[in-house]
């Protein structure tokens, strides 16, 4: 799929000019980028969702039977923006202006009619078939100012249309917030079937579930490398819970820790050279740091209690972990060399599975309350503890999105289990994957190229 910016009308042009545009596929909108970028703080406590209107796309004068995509484009874009949790899509029933008009700078848009129904932003678009190619045009307008914020045109095959929508959703987020979101990320998790379990990955939008391992044994705790090319996990393939690293898109698998007892993965360092792990090779579960290339192992905790689940801070200067040294599992924080250990959580008698926000200020974890595990987040100094889930199910193993704006977790209630995603404040909860097989231990990828 190829794309370019949009300035001139795409539809209603001659076939000769249209063919030339197809052949050239060059960018034709430079625009004032400093003017186009509208930065809004979506992390502000007073933030309210963007009211946006997305009418059906302009269909070609002659469209292929069975290929009317006018509603498909608008509804798909609406779905992606809804997933972000930052947009309030206005119902098409409220629209005052005729929907199917040519989308272009020559078009007269009655911005007052869109403002009347509460829209602050408006997306207009259209599409055209050219042989086996599909061309789609998207435009985002500021209704209040009556200005074009950004326009893009994408060319590809019919099967690329979802990628076109996803790409423009990223463009909208970047134009309005300065960040393109996480539409290009995946979430890895474990599906257990019978006595065996394997790693699967799924896109942020819930599409393209893919199996990564075929162990035929128990597999645990997937963790992404910072470049998204590798994954660490624990497998019982050799009869012991050993730690492996596997290339996500290949067949290369290497055992990096096979000590007697448990070998469980923590998070990777920013440069991808080191990994935190828990091993009981010395008789007690302790936290270590391993150089993946040399195999050098450095012990970080020395305590008769159990220390597990290490997670690096984004700058790799601190480590959050779980210890029962106070009598029950609680979250602790220490320096990256193992010094200056301090207890972080005091509410509740069972807190575990810490994950450090990529933004560095919050730690999310699971805690037992009223007989159920719920998801909490807390400042790195122990202040502002916040409960994010509260229904009658067990919510476990939280993991942050790479932009720090979402949390994924597994939920188990009754006979069904699932992988869920919510905004970092606990809102906008949606099911990513669910079924009767046990699905656990999600791990969010970095942004993927």
What pLDDT sits at residue 93?
93
Give pLDDT, residue 83. Answer: 92
Question: In the predicted model, what is the mean pLDDT of residues 221-246?
Answer: 96
Is pLDDT above 50 for 127?
yes
Q: What is the pLDDT of residues 404-415, one digit of tens each?
A: 999 999 999 876
Helix (H), strand (E), coil (C) string for the chain: CEEEECCCCCCCCCHHHHHHHHHHCCCCCCCCHHHHCCCCCCCCCCCCCEEEECCCCECCCCCCCCCCCHHHHHHHHHHHHHHHCCEEECCHHHCCCCCCCCCCCCCCCCHHHHHHCCCCEEEEEEEEEECCEEEEEEEEEECCCCEEEEEEEEEECHHHHHHHHHHHHHHHHHHHHCCCCCCCCEEEEEEEECCEEEEEEEECCCCCCEECCCCCCCEEEEEECCCCCEEEEEECCCCCCEEEEEECCCCCEEEEECCCCCEEEEEECCCCCEEEEEECCCCCCEEEEEECCCCCEEECCCCCCCEEEEEECCCCCEEEEEECCCCCCEEEEEECCCCCCEECCCCCCCEEEEEECCCCCEEEEEEEECCEEEEEEEECCCCCCEECCCCCCEEEEEEECCCCCEEEEEEEECCEEEEEEEECCCCCCEEEEEECCEEEEEEECCCCC
Looking at residues 197-202, what average pLDDT do you find?
96
In the chain, which residues fall in CATH 2.120.10.30? 186-444
Instruction: Give pLDDT, residue 41.
Output: 62
Residue 34 scores a pLDDT above 70: no
Which CATH class for the 186-444 domain? Answer: mainly beta
Determine the straight-line distance between the first and last CA of the chain, rounded to whole angstroms. 14
pLDDT category at 445 given cuts 50, 70, 90 is very high
What is the C-alpha to C-alpha distance for residues 388 and 397, in angstroms, rounded to an integer?
13
Start-end of CATH 3.40.50.10070 domains in the chain? 2-177
pLDDT band at 43 (very low <50, low <70, confident <90, very high): low
More confident residue, 17 or 73: 73
pLDDT recorded at residue 5: 55
Q: What number is the average pLDDT over the span 202-225?
A: 94
Whether residue 45 is predicted with pLDDT greater than 80 in this model: the reply is no
Residue 413: predicted pLDDT: 84
Q: Give mean pLDDT, residues 266-279.
A: 97
Q: Is 65 exposed, middle or buried (0-12, 13-18, 19+ CB in 10 A)?
A: exposed
Report pLDDT for 22.
Answer: 35
pLDDT, average across residues 81-87: 92
The CATH fold of domain 2-177: Rossmann fold (3.40.50)
Q: What is the pLDDT of residue 250?
A: 81
**Considering the chain, what percentage of its residues have pLDDT values greater than 70?**
86
Which pLDDT tens digit goes with each residue over 333-355? 999 999 999 999 999 999 999 99
Is pTM beyond 0.85? Reply is: yes
Res. 380 pLDDT band, cuts 50 70 90: very high
pLDDT at 68: 85
206: left (phi over 0), alpha (psi -120 to 50) or beta: left
Closest CA to 137 of 154, 122, 123: 154
8-12, 122-126, 196-200: which range is least confident on average? 8-12
Average pLDDT, the chain: 88
Tell me the C-alpha distance between 337 and 13, whole Å.
66
Q: Which residues share a beta bridge with 255? A: 244
Residue 4 has what pLDDT? Answer: 56
């Amino acid at each position: 799929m190829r794309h370019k910016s949009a300035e001139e009308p795409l539809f209603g042009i001659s076939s000769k000019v249209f063919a030339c545009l197809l052949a050239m596929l060059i960018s034709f909108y430079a625009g004032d980028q400093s003017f186009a970028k509208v930065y809004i703080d979506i992390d502000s406590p007073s933030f309210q969702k963007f009211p946006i209107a997305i009418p059906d796309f302009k269909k070609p004068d002659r469209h292929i039977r069975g290929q009317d995509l006018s509603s498909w484009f608008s509804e798909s874009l609406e779905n992606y923006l809804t997933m972000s949790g930052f947009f309030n899509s206005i119902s098409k029933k409220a629209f005052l202006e005729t929907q199917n008009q040519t989308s272009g700078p020559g078009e007269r848009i009655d911005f007052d009619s869109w403002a009347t129904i509460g829209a602050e932003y408006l997306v207009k678009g259209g599409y055209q078939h050219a042989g086996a190619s599909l061309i789609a045009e998207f435009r985002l307008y500021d209704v209040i100012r009556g200005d074009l914020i950004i326009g893009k045109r994408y060319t590809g095959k019919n099967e690329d249309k979802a990628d076109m929508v996803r790409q423009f959703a990223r463009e909208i987020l970047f134009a309005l917030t300065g960040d393109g979101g996480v539409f290009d990320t995946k979430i890895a998790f474990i599906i257990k079937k019978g006595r065996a379990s394997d790693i699967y990955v799924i896109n942020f939008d819930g599409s393209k579930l893919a199996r990564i391992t075929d162990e035929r044994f128990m597999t645990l705790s997937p963790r992404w490398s910072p470049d998204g090319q590798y994954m660490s996990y624990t497998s019982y393939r050799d009869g012991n819970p050993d730690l492996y690293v596997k290339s996500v898109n290949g067949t290369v698998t290497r055992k990096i820790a096979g000590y007697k007892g448990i070998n469980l993965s923590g998070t990777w360092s920013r440069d991808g050279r080191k990994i935190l792990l828990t091993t009981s090779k010395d008789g007690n579960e302790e936290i270590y740091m391993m150089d993946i290339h040399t195999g050098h192992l450095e012990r970080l905790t020395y305590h008769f209690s159990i220390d597990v689940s290490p997670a690096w801070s984004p700058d790799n200067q601190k480590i959050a972990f779980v210890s029962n040294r106070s009598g029950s599992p609680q979250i602790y924080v220490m320096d990256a060399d193992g010094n200056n250990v301090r207890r972080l959580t005091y509410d509740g008698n069972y807190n575990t599975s810490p994950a450090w926000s990529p933004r560095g200020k919050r730690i999310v974890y699971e805690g037992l309350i009223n007989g159920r595990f719920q998801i909490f987040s807390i400042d790195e100094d122990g202040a502002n503890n916040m409960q994010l889930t509260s229904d009658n199910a067990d919510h476990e193993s939280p993991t942050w999105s790479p932009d720090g704006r979402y949390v994924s977790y597994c939920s188990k209630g009754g006979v069904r289990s699932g992988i869920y995603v919510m905004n970092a404040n606990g809102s906008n909860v949606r099911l990513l994957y669910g079924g009767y097989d046990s699905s656990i231990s999600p791990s969010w990828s970095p942004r993927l190229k």
